[in-house]
Amino acid sequence: MWKKTLALLLVAFVAANSIWPATVSASSDSVAEPRVSLEEAIITARAAVPELEWLEEADFRAEYLDGSWRLMWSTDDRKQVSISVNADNGRLLEYNLWDYNWGQKYPPLPLLTEEEALAQAENFLQKVAPAELAACRLQDSVPPRPYLRERSSAVSYSFTWQRFANDIPFNFNGLRVTVNGDTGLVTGYSCIWTEGHVPQPSNIISEDKAAKVAQEAGKMELQYFWPYAEYGKTEKPILIYSAPKLNSIYVNAHTGEIYKPWLDPRYAGEAAVDEKLAPDATLSPAELAEVELIAGLLTQEEAEATARQTFAIAESYNLQDANLVLHRQFDEQRHWTLSFVEDREEGIRNRIYVTLDAETGEIYRYSASVPRDSDKGTISRSEAEAIARAYIEKMNPAKAQEVELVQPELGTEPDRPEEYPTSYYFNYRRLVNGVPFPQNGFSVSIYAGQEPLVTSYNLTWVEAEFPPVAGSLTLNQAHAALRNKYPFHLEYRVAERGVRPLPLPTPAMSTAATAVDANASSPITLVYTQAPVPSHMFSAQDMQPLNYRGEPVKQEETVAPKDVAGHPAEADILFLAKVGILPVPEDGLYRPNDKASLADWLEILVRAAGVSENERKTFLYLDDDLDETRDLQRQELAVYAIRALGYERVAAMSNIFRLAAADAEAVNADYIGHVAIALELKLLTLDGDTIAPQAAVTKGELPGALMQMFRSMR
């Protein structure tokens, strides 16, 4: 069971956090049955990843959601695959592979370079989406950043192709592929493609006119902002422009009007249906079991009939959406989610949503549009609760006996007829062994207008084995444990935000004049409060996390070097600059032939190791009086490289090392071990039979030495 649950949680996570969702349903008055069967979707999915032979033996689950088949495989050794196939045209929409190797160690650099991973991604797209790839352009990406230590997980390269039409980028359309840098496997893919006529860029308004329209629709506002100050300092206000509508205003290039999209641009459209695939008789046992399970559930028509009969849904309501979905905790359970819509006069639409068990027909959720016949309530809360209680007892009499009403806070609802609200909400929580289980129970909304009625009903209930209460901490024990970790303390509080404390008496004032009447009303109260759990702070301006000084965490911008073409270390320089390890001046001039300072080398090593400036002294065994501005010597490059690799204890034993170079005596006696190890790791190379230990190092030699350090850790 655990692996199935994990698979579903992973799929849910990807669906909730994916930058490009797999598919989007169109708004319509009816929902067609899927034109691509589950068997055909499985064949399409497996043909896309033939290298995953283990799918044949894996557990398998499927669901029909938003017009696509979502297929999921899982194994006992923590392999998971999720693939989405458009149920209308058979297009592969999304693919994700998880292969967990907990405890495995990886070298700093992945096996594949960025160029090799890109080739893998392009080969995959040529197989699954060649026509779409031809209409796209590869976007810039940043390869995984290495560190001077082993990794505990694999790294991935992510590539994005933006769709273009008429040499114009097609927003929110394109392809994305993820490649595992250690195995070479494609582990992720998504395709967002809008079908339909693409208007030509002719007879359009000018850029200036469009800018004026947008400026008028979303005027910026000049504001002052007062940054959070570090303790003991006073920050000055800064002047900013507030432009809340800047990225939400679009102007129609043909009409000059503000563009208001009526349809989500991610909608996959009505592409041509691929030729029907013949059912594959070689489906795995798990895949066949899932096909049989879904075949035994209520059909879409049966689910619709159950919903209409249960809630007396009129024929004027058309079925708009119908999805067969997995229960997110129990993968043997399927739900039908149905959406009905009724078009009324003056563009008004009434809606009804129903969720029911796809096997038993048990109702889990119901909601309907709230009537518009009254702006005044006609019943009290207790009368409305009687309606809600009767409703849950009618819908599910057994479960209704296992819940209790969650009472609202006193004073939150009026109890006078002239102030009755037009709606009430009631929450009934489940009791298990006499203990509340708030995540389970019923919730009911009541419209309290001229004709009171239920406008929403929700049942959340799981069948599970609950642990006994015996052995748990008592309430007093729980409070004591919490208090021990977060103790109480005294502080003054005010009842309302913005109320100022009373002024304190000053020494120059007399006691009589400054005495405070103990019986006088005061907005200040001395209280005990429990210490809060520490949390992150964010700038109210840009929502970046704040450091302990109250400053926004700044993301370091990388600058590509412009003067390294043809240099022997060009590839290493470009890579390290791209991942943010090699600092490059804002003008882009790295000057690889200039002499490197000791500070240049130390900074690169600290960045590569990912240690803070406060840790650099201990990490690299730095002396307090070290002059970091002087030129870096070859033997010093070796010393600090070996220390950064963690070999200092051995390297410091100089008497156990021997150097065979002609100028070995020129090496500092304390550095003999470091130089010997550096030569063995090819961080330094001999010039004939000489080391030249005191020769200056150029800035162009530093990236090559660092990359060799990474490679030496394979």
Give the confidence band of 150 by pLDDT, cuts at 50, 70, 90. Answer: confident
Residue 392: band (very low, low, confident or very high) from pLDDT cuts 50, 70, 90: very high
Residue 170's pLDDT is: 79
Q: What is the pLDDT of residue 239?
A: 34
Same domain (yes/no): 186, 45 = yes
Selection from 145, 175, 173 nearest residue 157 by Cα: 145
Note whether residue 481 is domain-resident: yes
CB 558 within 8 A of CB 590: no
- Torsions phi, psi for 460 (to 5 deg): -120, 120
Q: Who has greater pLDDT, 327 or 272?
A: 327
Confidence band (pLDDT; 50, 70, 90) for 270?
A: very low
Q: Is residue 286 part of a domain?
A: no
Give the residue from 146, 165, 199 where a domain finishes.
Answer: 199
Greater confidence, 419 or 542? 419
In this structure, the answer to whether residues 159 and 307 fall within a common structural domain is no
pLDDT band of residue 544 (cuts 50, 70, 90) is very low
Question: Which of helix, strand or coil describes residue 83?
Answer: strand
Q: Is residue 430 part of a domain?
A: yes
d(Cα 678, Cα 400) in Å, to the nearest integer? 75
**Residues 395 and 320 occupy one common structural domain:** no
Give the range with max mean pLDDT: 17-31, 48-62, 211-225, 458-472: 48-62
Lowest average pLDDT, out of 192-206, 249-263, 399-413, 669-683, goes to 249-263
In three-state form (DSSP H/G/I as H, E/B as E, the rest C), the secondary structure along 97-155 is EEECCCCCCECCCCCCCHHHHHHHHHHHHHHHCHHHHHCEEECCCCCCCCCCCCECCCC
Q: What is the pLDDT at residue 261?
A: 46
Residues 6+ apart with CB under 8 A from 295: none
Q: 535 pLDDT band (50/70/90 cuts)?
A: very low
On whether residue 254 sits in a domain, the answer given is: no
139-149 pLDDT, tens digit per residue, is 989 899 999 98
Q: Which amino acid is at 671?
A: Y
Identify whether 278 is part of a domain: no
Give the model's pLDDT for residue 467: 72
Residue 175 CA to its chain's centroid (Å): 18
State which of 42-56, 229-243, 282-296 shows the largest mean pLDDT. Answer: 42-56
pLDDT above 50: residue 508: no
For residues 198-211, give the mean pLDDT: 75
The pLDDT of residue 26 is 36
Q: How far, in Å, CA of 525 to CA of 407, rounded?
A: 29
Residue 466: the pLDDT is 77
**167 and 92 in one domain?**
yes
Structure-model confidence comparison of residues 543 and 59, the more confident one: 59
Sign of CA dihedral 605, 609, 614, 620: negative
pLDDT of residue 115 exceeding 70: yes
Task: Give me the domain span that covers residue 139.
Answer: 2-199
pTM (2 d.p.)? 0.64
Average pLDDT for residues 88-108, to the nearest whole number? 87
Give percent of the chain with pLDDT exceeding 70: 71
Judgement on whether residues 441 and 363 belong to the same structural domain of the protein: no
Q: Give the pLDDT confidence score for residue 214 in this predicted structure.
A: 66
Number of C-beta neighbours around residue 349 at 10 A = 10
User: Sorting pLDDT into bands at 50, 70 and 90, what band is 551?
Assistant: low
As a whole number of angstroms, the distance between CA 286 and CA 7 comes to 15
Band (393; pLDDT cuts 50, 70, 90) = very high
Per the CB < 8 A criterion, the answer to whether 462 and 329 are in contact is: yes
Q: Where are the alpha helices (DSSP H) in 129-232?
A: 130-134, 207-217
User: Same structural domain for residues 23 and 158?
Assistant: yes
**What's the rounded mean pLDDT across residues 505-521?**
35
Number of domains in the chain: 6
Q: Is 629 or 515 the better-scoring residue by pLDDT?
A: 629
Query: In whole angstroms, what is the distance from residue 106 CA to residue 182 CA?
Result: 8
Please report whether residue 306 resides in a domain.
yes
More confident call, 217 vs 553? 217
Give me the pLDDT at residue 633, please: 95
Name residues whose C-beta falls within 8 Å of residue 542's C-beta, 6 or more positions apart in sequence: 552
Q: Does the structure show a pLDDT above 60 at 512?
A: no
The whole-number pLDDT of residue 473 equals 62
Tabulate helix, strand, coil % of the chain (nearest 5): 30, 25, 50
First to last CA, the chain: 38
Nearest Cα neighbor of 368 from 347, 344, 351 is 351
| pLDDT above 70 for 32 | no
Render pLDDT for 352-388 as a digit per residue (tens, 0 to 9).
999 999 998 999 999 998 877 667 888 999 999 999 9
| Same domain membership, residue 233 and residue 150 | no
Quick one: 233 and 313 in the same domain? Answer: no
Q: Which residue has the higher pLDDT, 391 or 532?
A: 391
The residue with greater pLDDT, 210 or 497, is 210
Q: What is the pLDDT of residue 306?
A: 94
Instruction: Check residues 539 and 546 and name the one with the higher pLDDT.
Output: 546
Asked if the structure places residue 281 within a domain, the reply is: no
User: Rounded to an integer, what distance in angstroms lies between the CA atom of residue 437 and that of residue 440?
Assistant: 6
How much is the average pLDDT of 268-286?
53
| pLDDT number for residue 255 | 74
10 and 101 inside one domain: yes
Characterize the bridge pairing of strands 136-138 and 59-65.
Answer: unpaired
Q: Same structural domain for residues 195 and 212?
A: no
Structure tokens at 474: 């008592």
Distance CA 689, CA 640 (A): 23
- Give the angle subtended at the CA of 560 by the CAs of 556 and 564, to the nearest 5°: 140
pLDDT at 345 over 60: yes
Per-residue pLDDT, averaged over 320-336, amounts to 79
Lowest model confidence (mean pLDDT) among 271-285, 336-350, 546-560, 684-698? 271-285
Q: What is the mean pLDDT of the chain?
A: 77
Q: Kindly state whether residues 446 and 578 are assigned to the same domain.
A: no
Residue 552 — pLDDT band, cuts 50, 70, 90?
low
pLDDT given at position 495 = 42
**Is a pLDDT exceeding 50 seen at residue 238?**
no
- The Cα–Cα gap between 238 and 222 comes to 11
Band (532; pLDDT cuts 50, 70, 90): very low
- Stretch 211-219: mean pLDDT: 66
Boundary residue ending a domain (340, 368, 396): 368
> What pLDDT is attached to residue 215?
64
Residue located via tokens 């961080």: 683
Domain endpoint, select from 345, 368, 391 = 368
Confidence of residue 19 (pLDDT cuts 50, 70, 90): very low
Q: What is the CATH number of the domain that holds 328?
A: 3.10.450.40
- Report residue 430 as tokens: 């489940």
Task: Assess if residue 70 is contained within a domain.
Answer: yes
Same domain (yes/no): 213, 309: no
Inter-CA distances, 190 with 11, 45, 267, 386, Å: 14, 13, 14, 50
Comparing CA positions, the residue from 264, 269, 321 lying closest to residue 30 is 321
Residue pLDDT, tens place only, 443-498: 999 999 888 999 999 998 877 767 776 777 666 666 555 455 544 545 343 343 33
Look at residue 528 and tell me whether its pLDDT is greater than 80.
no
Residue 556 has pLDDT above 60, yes or no: no
pLDDT at 274 over 80: no
Other Cβ atoms less than 10 A from the Cβ of 18: the count is 14
Mean pLDDT lowest among 219-228, 246-255, 392-401, 481-490: 219-228
Contact by Cβ (8 Å): 124, 186: yes
Distance CA 574, CA 559 (A): 10
**In this predicted model, which residue has the larger pLDDT, 221 or 123?**
123
Q: What is the mean pLDDT of residues 504-510?
A: 32
* Mean pLDDT, residues 278-287: 67
